[in-house]
């Protein structure tokens, strides 16, 4: 017996838990997980490695067009390849996180990556997370979710993540970066961070990943989505 393959869009600000939740939802449904943020991080990393000013729209757009960014789903999870090199860990560096909002606001960069993201979601069976998935990338998605949490909660999560990876940062620095990222993402001219009118908002503050995942799976079930074996 077949299954109905949905497209699931999960948006929200930095640190709201999008990647972790989206990955678990995709695993539960047997869908492909597409981390759109990782794709922008890969372009940002390319710019940093090449010494490109991330505010230079022409240079960044050129780098994005030339970069070969791929997401590979394997037993160990989704790996991010940049020009054939595994950069899954490198793109999570603090300096890359600081560069991302500047890279992502350039229209040519967004156009190139949105085109690729739509190709990856053709036919359904995809859970994609980001900041403009439900509004720009997949406006016709079957299920749209907007995850949020207080800035302090999001900063605590990101701080623990960075420290675990060996980055030397303070909680105050991370909170400031989160708040700055929110301002940039929400005020940019192209594809700003906004909740889609038909998205279900879920506040993850004080909630476990499992609780949030179960709520999204219930939304998928109401849309007729079922588990698809791989």
Which pLDDT belongs to residue 195?
92
pLDDT at 179: 92
How would residue 191 be classed by pLDDT, with cut points 50, 70 and 90? confident
Cα separation of 104 and 45, whole Å?
Answer: 12
How do residues 74-96 score in pLDDT, each as one tens digit?
Answer: 777 788 999 999 999 999 988 99
Determine which helix (DSSP H) or strand (DSSP E) holds 56, and give its type and residue range: none
Smallest Cα–Cα separation from 138: which of 108, 104, 115?
115
In 128-208, which ranges are continuous DSSP H helix? 151-164, 171-187
For residue 69 the two structure tokens come to 């960014």
How much is the CA Rg of the chain, to the nearest whole Å? Answer: 17
CA distance 102 to 83: 21
Query: Once rounded to an integer, what is the mean pLDDT over residues 15-33?
Result: 92
CB 173 within 8 Å of CB 230: no
What is the pairing mode between strands 69-74 and 77-82? antiparallel
CB-based contacts of 133-136 (< 8 A; 24+ apart in sequence) = 133/9, 133/10, 133/11, 133/36, 134/9, 134/11, 134/195, 134/196, 134/198, 134/199, 135/11, 135/191, 135/194, 135/196, 136/191
According to the model, what pLDDT value does residue 225 have?
63
Check whether 229 has a pLDDT greater than 60.
Answer: no
Check residue 1 and give its pLDDT.
Answer: 45
Q: What is the mean pLDDT of residues 13-24?
A: 91
pLDDT surpasses 60 at 177: yes
Q: Which of the listed ranges 43-52, 63-72, 99-108, 172-181 does the model predict with the highest average pLDDT? A: 43-52
Predicted pLDDT of residue 23: 93
pTM of the predicted protein model: 0.81
Is the pLDDT assigned to residue 62 strictly greater than 60? Answer: yes
Domains, the chain, in order of start with CATH, read: 7-213 (3.40.50.300)
């Amino acid at each position: 017996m077949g299954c109905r393959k949905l497209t699931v869009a999960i948006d929200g600000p930095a640190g709201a838990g999008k990647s972790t939740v989206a990955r678990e939802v995709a695993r539960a449904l047997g869908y492909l997980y597409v981390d759109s943020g990782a794709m922008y991080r890969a372009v940002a990393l390319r710019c940093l490695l090449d010494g490109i000013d991330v505010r230079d729209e022409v240079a960044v757009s050129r780098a994005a067009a030339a970069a070969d960014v791929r997401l590979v789903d394997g037993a160990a999870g989704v790996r991010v390849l940049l020009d054939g090199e595994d950069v899954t860990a490198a793109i999570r560096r603090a300096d890359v996180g600081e560069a991302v909002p500047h890279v992502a606001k350039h229209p040519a960069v967004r156009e190139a990556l949105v085109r690729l993201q739509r190709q990856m979601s053709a036919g359904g069976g995809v859970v994609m997370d980001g900041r403009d998935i439900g509004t720009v990338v997949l406006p016709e998605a079957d299920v749209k979710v907007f995850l949020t949490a207080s800035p302090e909660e999001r900063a605590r999560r990101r701080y623990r993540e960075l420290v675990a990876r060996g980055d030397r940062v303070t909680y105050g620095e991370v909170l400031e970066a989160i708040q700055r990222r929110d301002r940039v993402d929400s005020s940019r001219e192209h594809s700003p961070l906004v909740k889609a009118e038909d998205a279900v908002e879920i506040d993850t503050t004080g909630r476990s990943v499992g609780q949030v995942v179960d709520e999204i799976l219930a939304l998928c079930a109401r849309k007729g989505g079922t588990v698809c074996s791989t």
